[in-house]
C-alpha cells in the first residue's frame, strides 16, 4: 500500500509540475490515469487486474460518450463485425434448455466476486435491466421489456419459420455477445466474458422462447 500511495503522489506531483509548464495532452492524462489504476489494484481470487485493460470497442464508445455524440457508423460496423466473430453457435443445433433454470438464473445477481471460486455458478441478473415475467413487480428499465418475447415475435406460433429462425439466432447472439449487434450496448457480453456458461445461455433462451415459460404467459 505504501508503494501504491507513493506512486500516486508522484503522479500527482508530476501533474502539478506539468501544469506549471506545459498542460498535458489528453493521451498523457489517459496514460497517467491508467498507471494510477494499475498501481491501485491487484489480483485477488478470481478477480484479475487484467479485466481493467481497455479494449478498442470500449475506448471508442467511451470517446463517443465524452464527445456527446454517437459513435462513427462505419467504426461501429467494424467493431460489431469483430464481436460477431466471437459468438459460438450450439454445436448440437439446440438453442433451448430448461426455462425454470433460466428463471432462477435471471433472478440471481450473484457471482464474480474475489471470494468466489472459478467454478462458482454466477447469476444472469436479467431482472436488473429488463421486465420478463409480466407478474413480476420488481425489475429494471435500462433495457427493453422482454415480457411476451417469444409470443410477440411469432416464435411460439411457428417456431420453424425463417422469421422465427432469425429471431432465435439473434437472441442467442445477443445473449452471447450483445455488442455484436450494438457496438456500445450497455448489456453485458454474458457468455463472451464468462459471466454465464453456454448451458446457462440455453436456459435463458428457453425462458424467453418456451411457450410454457412465464415470460410468454
* Phi-psi region at 154: left, alpha or beta (left = phi > 0; alpha = psi -120 to 50): left
pLDDT values of the chain reduced to their tens digit, one per residue, 217 residues: 445 555 544 555 555 555 545 677 777 877 787 788 778 888 888 777 777 777 889 999 999 999 999 999 999 999 999 999 999 999 899 999 999 999 999 999 888 788 888 888 889 999 999 999 999 999 999 999 999 999 999 999 999 999 999 999 999 999 999 999 999 999 999 999 999 999 999 999 999 999 999 999 9
Domain map (residue ranges) of the chain = 2-70, 99-216
| All residues at 6 or more sequence positions from 173 whose CB lies less than 8 Å from its CB, including other chains | 84, 87, 180, 181
In total, the chain counts a number of residues equal to 217
Please, what CATH class does the domain formed by 99-216 belong to?
mainly alpha
Contacts 24+ apart (CB under 8 A), 128-137: 129/186, 129/187, 132/103, 132/106, 132/207, 132/208, 132/214, 132/215, 133/103, 133/214, 133/215, 134/214, 134/215, 135/214
What the block records as the C-alpha cell of 128 is: 436488473
Amino acid at each position: 500500500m505504501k508503494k501504491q500511495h507513493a506512486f500516486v503522489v508522484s503522479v500527482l506531483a508530476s501533474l502539478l509540475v506539468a501544469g506549471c509548464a506545459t498542460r498535458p495532452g489528453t493521451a498523457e492524462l489517459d496514460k497517467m490515469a491508467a498507471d494510477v489504476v494499475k498501481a491501485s489494484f491487484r489480483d485477488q481470487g478470481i478477480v484479475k487486474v487484467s479485466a481493467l485493460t481497455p479494449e478498442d470497442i470500449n475506448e471508442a464508445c467511451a470517446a463517443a460518450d465524452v464527445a456527446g455524440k454517437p459513435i462513427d457508423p462505419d467504426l461501429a460496423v467494424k467493431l460489431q463485425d469483430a464481436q460477431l466473430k466471437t459468438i459460438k453457435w450450439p454445436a448440437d443445433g439446440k438453442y433451448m434448455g430448461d426455462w425454470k433454470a433460466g428463471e432462477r438464473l435471471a433472478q440471481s445477481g450473484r457471482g464474480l466476486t474475489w471470494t468466489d471460486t472459478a467454478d462458482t455458478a454466477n447469476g444472469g441478473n436479467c431482472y436488473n435491466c429488463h421486465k420478463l415475467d409480466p407478474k413480476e413487480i420488481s425489475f429494471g428499465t435500462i433495457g427493453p421489456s422482454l415480457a411476451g418475447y417469444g409470443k410477440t415475435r411469432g416464435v411460439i406460433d411457428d417456431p420453424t419459420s425463417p422469421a422465427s429462425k432469425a429471431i432465435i439466432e439473434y437472441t442467442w447472439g445477443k445473449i452471447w455477445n450483445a455488442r455484436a449487434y450494438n457496438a456500445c450496448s450497455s448489456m453485458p457480453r454474458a457468455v463472451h466474458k464468462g459471466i454465464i456458461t453456454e448451458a446457462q445461455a440455453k436456459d435463458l433462451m428457453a425462458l424467453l422462447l418456451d411457450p410454457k415459460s412465464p415470460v410468454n404467459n
